[in-house]
Structure 1
Amino acid sequence: MSDESDREPAENISGGSAGGGTPAEFDPATADTRAEAVIDRLGELYWQKTYGGQDAFECLVRTILSQNTSDKASQPAHDNLMARYGGDGPAAGADGDLVAALAEADREELAETISSAGLYNRKSEVMIAAAEEIRTDFGSEEGFDEFVREGEPETVRDRLLEIDGVGPKTADCVLLFSGGRGGVFPVDTHVHRIFRRLGIAPADADHEEVRAVVEREVPAEKCGFGHTATIQFGREYCTARKPACLDDPEACPMADLCAQVGVYPDTEEVVDPAEAPESDA
């Protein structure tokens, strides 16, 4: 298990009920599917949050910064970016419009500002291009925010995916954390690994196939919590190389719900579920 300092704070930092989210009840005994039972078990283990309310473009920027890096690295980059380009920062846009600020940003200066996040040259290019595109199509940060919150979810998702550098996970995070859309379960590397290891999604499923399974089998109001809690579970228990069950079968709170696809406690071998013998899945 990870250090206690790695856990997410108990305080809801993702918008809360005031931001359009809704609370969910967690009772594994009443779950209709094994996937829902997993999420309910996580509800007993972790915080119970609601989602929605983040500014859409800031959420997009934050998620781009988090790509291929840790929260520990991306958070300072986000803070530095907002201090310079947001609000009353020295490079802020008119009326504090972050879209305008990044559309007009000097790329090298932006890259230096977000350097702690890694891949900063590419990420600065992506953010500037996205800001220019969003300003052209939606006029401002406010216009983009309205589109994300009020547009049809599939229409919003499809439009987000048209932006260079925005993949399915980034688009889904914007829908979830900004739009507060129920039934959205973003799939990152932790979610992709864990639901295949559990045997809930096919062992060879890609990210989109895992998303389809969990969004079908987990109630809409539990998907947002399920996404963040599964990530934390992956950090603390079901890690890629050394899941907790290798040391002690009872150390994992999902022991009775998990098929351990690709995990072999007897030999301490761990492989990607897609590489596990077909009989395991």
Structure 2
Amino acid sequence: MPEEPRENISGGEDGSAAAVFEAGTAGTRAEAVVDELGGLYWQKTYGGKDAFESLVRTILSQNTSDVASQPAHDALMERYGADGEVDEASASGVDLAAALADAEQSELAETISSAGLYNQKSAMIVGAAERVCEEYGGADGFDAFVRGEDPGEVREALLDIHGVGPKTADCVLLFAGGRDGVFPVDTHVHRIARRMGLAPADADHEAVRERLEADVPGEKCGFGHTAMIQFGREYCTARKPACLDGPEACPLYDLCDRVGVDEVGESVVDPAEAAIR
């Protein structure tokens, strides 16, 4: 079974553990899809990442590829993390939230420039850091809140931070909080769920999330998210899904409605566009 790629910034090497789920009859087609993805890629549980660093990671990944956001994250941690340019007296116990709350925004923007939209993202990160320090006393307090409080309360608090949308909040809940039943929806998941018919063709990101979280057992939602992203990169791409090369080219062909895909004409449109034709 392939290893989860490091550039999958939502998941990655740390904060996850291999898991094995008993084979059985899936209760829904969405669960059947996730089971197939688990056999194709990986079955894992998530949790244990630092909550504030997860928040920063996901802000950096907004509107850009993981390949571009990973170097920005690494540069940020090198400059502001435990090994970065902090006072020698506190270097061993640096609080990333405190360091970023005090950061010069122009300097931070330069540091994360590879992620794109760096002026906006640097302002979001500084603002989030200030909020975390004010309300939770720093990164440790924020981490305890994310891991220990009611998931609905945590999600609401995260969404109240400027620059944090549903996908960002859900990634923090999943990869830091280790919460079952959280299925973050990025562009890959949004496209695939609607193309396969797992959600209505015109569903927005929140409607897709609600449908997947209702139809996929909680313990399978985490690897369903990361494996579906990988499937979107390798097979179910936006412009040329593998099914255009024939049924044998896609391992999930028999589970897919192919909404918006014209196999005969070899053309593809967004599922929402196909639904109004």
Output the TM-score relative to the length of structure 1: 0.91
Local SS of the residue matching 1:30: coil
Per the TM alignment, residue 16 of structure 1 is displaced from its structure 2 partner at its CA by 2.8
- Tell whether the 8 Å contact from 2:33 to 2:252 is kept in structure 1 after alignment: yes
Partner of 1:60: 55
How far residue 24 of structure 1 moved from its aligned partner, in angstroms, is 4.2
Confirm whether residue 217 of structure 1 aligns to residue 215 of structure 2. yes
Distance in 2 between residues matched to 1:215 and 1:26, nearest whole Å: 20
Amino acid at match of 2:214: R
Query: How far apart, CA to CA, are the structure 1 residues paired with 2:98 and 2:200?
Result: 44
Match of 2:39 in 1: 44
| Distance (Å, rounded) in 2 between the aligned partners of 1:111 and 1:272 | 34
CA-to-aligned-CA distance 1:168-225 (integer Å, 9 cap, x gap): 0000000000000000000001101101001110000010100010000000000000
1:76 equivalent in structure 2: 71
Is 1:208 paired with 2:203? no
| Corresponding residue number in structure 2 for 1:226 | 224
Distance in 2 (alpha carbons) for counterparts of 1:103 and 1:224: 30
Measure the CA separation in 1 of the matches of 2:221 and 2:193. 13
Asked if 1:257 corresponds to 2:255, the answer is yes
How far is 1:140 from its partner? 1.0
Name the counterpart of 1:23.
Answer: 19
RMSD: 2.1
C-alpha distance in structure 2 between counterparts of 1:224 and 1:230, whole Å: 10
After superposition, the Cα gap between the structure-2 partners of 1:183 and 1:108, relative to the gap in structure 1 and judged at 3 Å, is same
Offset of 1:14 from its aligned partner? 4.0
- Three-state SS of the structure 2 residue aligned to 1:276 is helix
Amino acid at match of 1:107: Q
CA 148–277 in structure 1, closer or farther in 2 if over 3 Å, else same:
closer
Q: Alpha carbons of 1:6 and 1:66: their partners in 2 closer, same or farther (altered >3 Å)?
A: farther
Which of 28, 31, 35 matches 1:33? 28
What corresponds to 2:158 in structure 1? 160
CA contact (8 A) 2:45 2:222 kept: yes
The 8 Å contact of residues 85 and 92 in structure 1, kept in 2 or not, is answered as no
Q: Hey, what's the Cα distance between the residues in 1 that align with 2:164 and 2:12? A: 25
- Give distance in 2, aligned partners of 1:122 and 1:181: 29
Q: Flag the 1:189–1:12 CA change in 2: closer, same or farther, 3 A.
A: closer
Q: Is the 8 A contact 1:84 1:92 kept in 2?
A: no
Partner of 1:8: 5
Contact between 1:126 and 1:164, CA under 8 Å: does it hold in 2? yes
Q: CA deviation at 1:26?
A: 5.9
Secondary structure at 1:32 match in 2: coil
Secondary structure at the counterpart of residue 241 of structure 1 = coil
Letter in 2 for 1:159: A
Task: Name the residue aligned to 2:147.
Answer: 149
1:50 Cα deviation from its structure 2 partner: 1.7
Q: Give the aligned residue type for 1:117.
A: A
Q: For 2:4 and 2:171, how far apart are their aligned partners in 1?
A: 19
Residue 23 of structure 1: CA displacement? Answer: 2.5
Give the alignment of 1:240-279 within 5 angstroms. Answer: 240-277=238-275
The question of whether the paired residues in 2 share the 8 Å contact of 1:92 and 1:101 is answered with no
Which amino acid counterpart does residue 63 of structure 1 have in structure 2? T
Is the counterpart of residue 99 in structure 1 residue 97 in structure 2? yes
Superposition pairs of residues 100-179 of structure 1, within 5 angstroms: 100-179=98-177
Shift of 1:92: 6.7
Query: For residue 5 of structure 2, what is the amino acid of its counterpart?
Result: E
CA displacement at 1:138 relative to structure 2 = 0.4
2:136–2:142: 8 Å Cα contact kept in structure 1? yes
Instruction: Give the whole-Å Cα distance in 2 for the aligned partners of 1:273 and 1:7.
Output: 28
The number of aligned residues is 270
In structure 2, relative to structure 1, the CA distance for the partners of 1:14 and 1:35 (3 Å cut) is farther
Kindly indicate whether the alpha-carbon contact (under 8 Å) linking 1:77 and 1:114 is maintained by their aligned counterparts in 2: yes
Tell me whether 91-100 or 146-155 shows the greater mean CA deviation.
Answer: 91-100
